[in-house]
Amino acid sequence: MLRLLRSTSVRLALMFAILFAVAALLLASLIWWRTGAYLDNETDAVISADIQAIGDRLRDFGLPGAMATIQERVAETADEHAIYLLVDPTLTPVAGNLSAWPAAVGAGQGWYQAALERDGHPYAARLLHVSLRGGFQLLVGRDVQSRMAIRTLILNALGWATLATLGLAILGGLLVRRAVLGRIALVNRTTAAIVQGDLSQRLPAGDGSDEFGRLARTINEMLAQIELLIDGVRNASNAVAHDLRTPLAELRARLEGIGRNASADAPVPEPVKAALQDAIGDVDRLVGISNALLRLAEIDSGARRAGFRAVTLGPLVVQVGELYAALAEEKGAALAVDAAAGVEVIGDPDMLAQAVGNLLDNAVKYAPGGRIALSLARRDDGRAVITVADNGPGIPESERDKAVVRFYRGDASRGSPGQGLGLAEVAAVAKLHGGALELGDNAPGLKATLVLGIA
């Protein structure tokens, strides 16, 4: 229920339903009030006319005339709901169809609502009490039980109408929600594909005549421009990386050839040897950058997704851990591996192994002589998580979002070797597998968690 209430469309549907219900309730209240007022006015007019008639007979013919008028009206069968009672100063009945003065009617003159009985059955009556000459009291009224029943019937009918209005409003809101969510689902599927790297996807615009269509058309134009710009940047960097591979390989071969030839012809001073080795190392780093850029381009394009298959992560994590255990030992670090069994994902095993290797390489590089923990588990939501935690300097919270940007080098890593592409490549692999790279504090050190999609 709480999940439904978080939906904007559900909240809008409930809001409109409540609005319709309040409007229907106000209308029902107005009709009920006007109907009740009309019935009361009609009853009061008849009672007032009777009082006037009896008062006129009393004035013209005295008490016998008033009594005769009351008896005549009681004897008539046209209005069986009429109530008449004339009493003397001691409240002893003189004329009328009531046997005694009602207890609910006080000494004061005016209108009263009283419960009376007829043939052992209670009924509601509206009464008017007036005082006559000589201390006589006159009570004239009408049985309004049937009219109260009509009021109750009207009120019940309007109540059911209000509930029906509320139900129809909720149904209409849910239908609107279904229609809106259908359009939003299409947008979500398209944007999910775009997030995964397929920038060729476009939002369904239909004929573009409604607001959703016009919005989709505008967003599609924006996506086309973004695709054009990103393709331009991507193609330029890919072309540079690809074109540099051959010259760099040739340069490395020439440097190695110079070193071999110089060693064969004549002794080479140590500074020259060191310079040659440094140059070869620089070329290797440039080749590594080119290869990393090409791998990122391949990942971003989603081309590797075609080769996805079921991958059991336990053996993969253990194998990568064993591969880096020797490097960690060489750096004086202790590497512990804890891989849960039976954790599977759909993905590319080579890319996943490379991503785990990048995380371990960073941990070994920045936590020499420290403790490194590699673990594999499955979250409650079904996602597989691979975590590499170390007790090195870590990454400040303010830099964690930037750490996955290509070529970004934080203050703590500027003096260490690397190109700033390792975490960027891991984040790209995680994104391709429907997950993300989460960087947290290991207190001290860094906890890097590779979250992968559900198998």
Q: Are 448 and 362 in contact (CB under 8 A)?
A: yes
Residue 109: predicted pLDDT: 86
Residue 48: predicted pLDDT: 85
Q: Does residue 256 sit within a domain? A: yes
Q: CA-to-CA distance for 193 and 20, rounded, in angstroms?
A: 40
Q: Which residue has the higher pLDDT, 151 or 395?
A: 395
For residue range 62-113, what is the model confidence (pLDDT) as tens digits? 878 888 888 888 777 555 678 888 888 888 888 888 878 888 888 888 888 8
Q: Are residues 310 and 419 in the same domain?
A: yes
pLDDT value at 228 more than 70: yes
Q: Does residue 157 sit within a domain? A: no
Strands 121-131 and 137-143: what pairing? antiparallel
Q: Does residue 159 sit within a domain? A: no
pLDDT value at 333 more than 80: yes
pLDDT value at 229 more than 80: no
For residue range 110-150, what is the model confidence (pLDDT) as tens digits? 888 888 877 667 778 888 888 887 788 888 888 877 777 77
Q: Are residues 78 and 97 in the same domain?
A: yes
Q: CA-to-CA distance for 452 and 433, rounded, in angstroms?
A: 6
**CATH code at position 441:** 3.30.565.10
What would the mean pLDDT of 190-204 be, rounded to a whole number? 75
Q: What is the mean pLDDT of the chain?
A: 76
Q: Are residues 12 and 128 in the same domain?
A: yes
Q: CA-to-CA distance for 104 and 341, rounded, in angstroms?
A: 86
Q: Which of 40-44, 89-93, 328-332 has the lowest mean pLDDT?
A: 40-44
pLDDT value at 221 more than 70: yes
pLDDT value at 417 more than 60: no
- End residue of a domain, out of 152, 169, 193: 152
Q: Are residues 318 and 371 in the same domain?
A: yes
pLDDT value at 187 more than 60: yes
Percent of the chain with pLDDT over 90: 2
- End residue of a domain, out of 271, 301, 331: 301
Q: CA-to-CA distance for 117 and 108, rounded, in angstroms?
A: 22
Q: Does residue 183 sit within a domain? A: no
Q: Are residues 319 and 445 in the same domain?
A: yes
In this structure, the number of other CB atoms found within 10 A of the CB of residue 245 comes to: 14
**CATH code at position 269:** 1.10.287
Q: Are 423 and 403 in contact (CB under 8 A)?
A: yes
Q: Is 155 exposed, middle or buried (0-12, 13-18, 19+ CB in 10 A)?
A: middle
Q: Does residue 241 sit within a domain? A: yes
Cα angle, residue 271 at apex, residues 266 and 276 outer, rounded to 5°: 80
What would the mean pLDDT of 432-447 be, rounded to a whole number? 85
- At 354, is the pLDDT very low, low, confident or very high (cuts 50, 70, 90)? confident
Q: Which domain holds residue 215?
A: 211-301
Q: List the one residue out of 432, 430, 434, 433 whose CA is nearest residue 449.
A: 430
**CATH code at position 20:** 3.30.450
**Helices 349-366 and 422-432, interaxial angle, to 10°?**
150
Q: CA-to-CA distance for 394 and 199, rounded, in angstroms?
A: 34
Q: Which of 165-169, 366-370, 425-429 has the lowest mean pLDDT?
A: 165-169
Q: Are residues 268 and 404 in the same domain?
A: no
Residue 114: predicted pLDDT: 81
What would the mean pLDDT of 339-365 be, rounded to a whole number? 86
Q: Does residue 160 sit within a domain? A: no
Three-state secondary structure string covering the chain: CHHHHCCHHHHHHHHHHHHHHHHHHHHHHHHHHHHHHHHHHHHHHHHHHHHHHHHHHHHHHHHHHHHHHHHHHHHCCCCCCEEEEEECCCCCEEEECCCCCCCCCCCCCEEEEEEEEECCEEEEEEEEEEECHHHCEEEEEEECHHHHHHHHHHHHHHHHHHHHHHHHHHHHHHHHHHHHHHHHHHHHHHHHHHHCCCCCCCCCCCCCCCHHHHHHHHHHHHHHHHHHHHHHHHHHHHHHHHHHHHHHHHHHHHHHHHHHHHHHHCCCCHHHHHHHHHHHHHHHHHHHHHHHHHHHHHHHHCHHHHHCEEEEHHHHHHHHHHHHHHHHHHCCCEEEEEECCCCEEEECHHHHHHHHHHHHHHHHHHCCCCEEEEEEEECCCCCEEEEEEECCCCCCHHHCCHHHCCCCCCHHHCCCCCCCCHHHHHHHHHHHCCCEEEEEECCCCEEEEEEECCC
pLDDT value at 267 more than 70: no
Q: Are residues 72 and 112 in the same domain?
A: yes
Q: Are residues 310 and 435 in the same domain?
A: yes
Percent of the chain with pLDDT over 70: 73
What would the mean pLDDT of 235-243 be, rounded to a whole number? 58
Q: Are residues 276 and 338 in the same domain?
A: no
Q: CA-to-CA distance for 331 and 82, rounded, in angstroms?
A: 111
What's the number of domains the chain is made of? 3
Residue 16: predicted pLDDT: 72
Q: Are residues 256 and 344 in the same domain?
A: no
pTM to 2 decimal places:
0.47
Q: Are residues 354 and 374 in the same domain?
A: yes
Q: Which of 67-81, 210-224, 307-321, 337-351 has the lowest mean pLDDT?
A: 67-81
Q: Are residues 275 and 352 in the same domain?
A: no
Q: Does residue 173 sit within a domain? A: no
- End residue of a domain, out of 301, 317, 332: 301
pLDDT value at 263 more than 60: no
pLDDT value at 41 more than 80: yes
Q: Does residue 20 sit within a domain? A: yes
Amino acid at site 208: G
Residue 452: predicted pLDDT: 87
